[in-house]
Amino acid sequence: EPEVTQTPSHQVTQMGQEVILRCVPISNHLYFYWYRQILGQKVEFLVSFYNNEISEKSEIFDDQFSVERPDGSNFTLKIRSTKLEDSAMYFCASSKGQKDEETQYFGPGTRLLVL
């Protein structure tokens, strides 16, 4: 069964550094998402992406964040200047976008630790 994959599984970075988290969505899916889960807290929506542009973003997704689909398979989340509070598990998800049957499939996550 096709799966969403993410790399790296873990990343440690210094505050102020840029990080890029990578995702390969399921191949025939059209919608892509990033969520994050701070340790011990709920999963929070960051952004959705369709047809090479952002569909929706949350208040968390400020100017420090950006997303890109640089080629036909990858979907990336960039954090320009990381802060301590960016430490979290970041999940990528994708969906077909079928009307009335929207299931989002999640990747295994990237655990980001900002020191």
Partner 1 sequence: AQSVSQHNHHVILSEAASLELGCNYSYGGTVNLFWYVQYPGQHLQLLLKYFSGDPLVKGIKGFEAEFIKSKFSFNLRKPSVQWSDTAEYFCAVNAGTGGFKTIFGAGTRLFVKA
Please give the residue ranges that form the binding site for partner 1 (CB under 8 A): 30-31, 33, 35, 41-45, 48, 50, 55-56, 58, 91, 93, 95-109
Indicate the residue among 49 and 114 with the shorter CB distance to partner 1.
49
- Secondary structure of the chain in HEC code, one letter for each residue: CCCCEEECCEEEECCCCCEEEEEECCCCCCEEEEEEECCCCCEEEEEEEECCEEEEECCCCCCCEEEECCCCCCEEEEECCCCHHHCEEEEEEEECCCCCCCCCEECCCEEEEEC
Tokens of 111: 């655990």
CB of 101 to partner 1, least distance (A): 5
Q: Judged by CB, which is closer to partner 1: 59, or 85?
A: 59
Q: How far is the CB of 14 from partner 1 (least distance, A)?
A: 26
Nearest CB to partner 1, comparing residues 84 and 99: 99
Residue 49 Cβ vs partner 1, minimum distance, rounded to whole Å: 8
Minimum separation from the CB atom of position 105 to partner 1 (A): 7
